[in-house]
Every structure is written in structure tokens, then in C-alpha cells.
Amino acid sequence: MILELMRQEATKLAAQRYPYLLLAALLALQVLRVLTLAFTPPETALDVVSAPQLWAEGLGWALRLLVFVVLVQGAMAFSQEFALGTAKTVLVLPVRRRDWCLAKLAALVLLAWALLALLALLGAVLVALTIGWSDVVREGIVLRPLAEYWRALLLGLALTGLQLLPLCAFALLVGLFFSNAGAAVGVAVLLGMMLESAGGLLRAGHWLFLYHLHRPLELLTRLGKGIPFTWDEALHEGIAVSLAWFLVLGGAAWLRLERMDIGS
């Protein structure tokens, strides 16, 4: 049943226009960022533009818009069903609310991961076409050989994917409180921005899931300058915080849907 519901989510998404516009904007932003970086001359002889740096910075920029896309799509997942009245059509069928919630969450996570993978692939192609995939070199000295940083790139990408999990659950949960898709999206984006800002402002900010979102890519950018990708305490914390928030927010979304009156 969950797979069938996920398939239906894909059918509905593919039949709409706005996902394609968002995807085009996402890809355009990354292409612009990578090309700008690749063709801007370094300010000093010590500055280097290496393949992992270019790839990570391009992906980091696109990630900002990807967060927005996930918030929009997640907030609309349920609120649009309530607004259209299709929630009633689905829930009079033999569909468990828990399954519906899981299917929507899984579909959103898969969408976020697919977009991230697409951006990573596009970034890899752009790097290959501009400066080429090669060792990190400064003034003729190899700081980091190509063979050594591949593993770090894949790890950074996987960690970024992991950090997207609580964001998906958060957006889905917000959408469950609105029967107006526009209001749900607005509130989700606003709360997302507040959470991201709060991470830097509050002392306890590192317990917020958005605080850790960009760290893997920042580490990759540093790797591109020759600084090793360190598997440190902060990365461990980021993984724990993301998984904990994902479970809490996902569970809250499920409970909310399970207990709510539809169309009252």
C-alpha cells in the first residue's frame, strides 16, 4: 500500500508544472555559480580553485534553493490535499493514515535525494568541463591527490542527504496544520528561515537540525584548499541531531494526521 501511495505521489507531481520550474531554477543557479567560480581569476597566487572546492561550492549554493524546494513541496503535500478536498477521497478508501503519512514522507525524502544527486552529477560534469577533475595543487605542489578526495566527496554528499531528512519531516508537519497550501508554504519557509537564523544566534543552536545542513559541504570546500576532511565531533553531533529531529518530527506528523478530524 505504501509503495502504491508513493507511486501516486510521483504521478501527481509529474502532472504539475511548478516542479519543473523549480528544478530549472535550481540547475540554473548551480551552473551560474560553478561557471562564475571557475572563470574568476584568483586574487593571489596562493589562491587555488580546485575540483572538490568548485564542486562543493556549486552544490552549496544550489542547496540553499533545494531547502526552499523541499519546504515548498513538503508543506504542500498535505495542505493541498485538504484544500482540494482530495484527503476525503483518499481516506474513505482502505488507506491507513499512518501509511499515507509514511508514503508522503518517503516520497518527499526520495525527491530531495534525487534532486541532490542530480545537482551533484551536474556539478561533477561542470567541473569536468571547466577545470577538470585533477589533484589539488598549489604552486606545483600536490596538496591532495584526486584518488584521495573521492571518498570524502561521497561521504559529504551522503551526510548532506542525511541532514535533509528532518527538513522533509518538518515541512510535512507544518502542512498538516493548514488547509490552504499558500499559507502552509509561507509559514514553512518563514519558520525554516527563523530556525536557520536561530542556529547562529542561540547558544543551543547546534541542537537545531538546520544548523548542521551546510557543514559537510563546507568541509569539502576546505578540502579543496588542501585542508583534510576531518571526521570530528561536530559531524557526529550533526548526524545524531538530524536523526533525532527526523524521528521526532516524523512521529509528530503521523500523530497529527492520525488524530485530526478531516473537513470539520
Partner 1 sequence: MSTAQAILRVEGLGKRFGRFTALRDLSFAVAPGETLGLLGRNGAGKSTAIRILCNLLRPSAGQAWLRGEAILGTRGVAHRRLIGAVVEAPRFYPQLSGRRNLALVARLLGVEDGRVDAMLERVDLAARAHVPFGQFSMGMKQRLGLAAAFLHRPPLVILDEPTTGLDPVGQRQIRDLIRALTHDAGVSALLCSHLLDEVGELCDRALVIEQGALILEQPLAGGGIAAVEACFRKLAHARDGAARDGAAWDGAARNGAAQEAAHEPAAAEPPPPQERP
Residues lying near partner 1 in the complex (CB under 8 A) are found at 1, 4-5, 7-8, 11-12, 15-16, 84-86, 88-96, 259, 261-264
Residue with Cβ nearer partner 1 (96 or 138) = 96
Q: Least distance (Å) from partner 1 to the CB of residue 176?
A: 15
From CA 198, how far away is CA 255, in angstroms rounded? 26
Q: Which residue has the cell 482540494?
A: 84
Minimal distance in Å, beta carbon 25 to partner 1? Answer: 21
Report, in Å, the least distance between residue 262 CB and partner 1.
4
CB of 12 to partner 1, least distance (A): 6
Report the residue number, 89 or 230, with the smaller CB distance to partner 1: 89
Question: Which is nearer to partner 1, 2 or 198 (by Cβ)?
Answer: 2
User: Across-strand partners of 138?
Assistant: 141
Q: Give the three cell numbers for residue 98.
A: 499512518
Cβ proximity to partner 1: between 25 and 260 the closer is 260
Output 45 or 92, the one with its CB closest to partner 1: 92
Closest separation between CB of residue 23 and partner 1, Å?
A: 17
